[in-house]
């Protein structure tokens, strides 16, 4: 079954601060992330591929 995650759920999954994940989405660095009704979403299968996001100068604070 196809499931989509919010960026907050993705942040918890990959252990990053939600604002860091939101910033990456806005910069186009989260493959498969999209907005629906003003809320960022990402397909679960894409989220699984993102478990090891590099920290290219993005602070988790």
Higher-scoring residue by pLDDT: 55, 6: 6
Domain map (residue ranges) of the chain: 4-49
* Both tokens assigned to 1: 């079954």
Joined together, the tokens standing for residue 18 give 């939600």
Tell me the per-residue pLDDT of 2-37, one tens digit each, with 9 for 90 and over: 689 999 999 999 899 999 999 999 999 998 999 999
What pLDDT sits at residue 53? 55
Residue 3: per-residue pLDDT: 86
For residue 34, the cross-strand partners are: 41
The reported pLDDT for the residue numbered 38 is: 92
Pull the structure tokens for residue 19.
């604002």
């Amino acid at each position: 079954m196809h499931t989509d995650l919010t960026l907050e759920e993705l942040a918890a999954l990959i252990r990053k601060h939600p604002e860091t994940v939101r910033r990456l989405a806005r910069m186009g660095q989260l493959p498969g992330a999209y907005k629906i009704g003003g809320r960022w979403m990402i397909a679960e299968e894409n989220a699984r591929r993102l478990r090891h996001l590099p920290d290219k100068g993005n602070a988790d604070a």
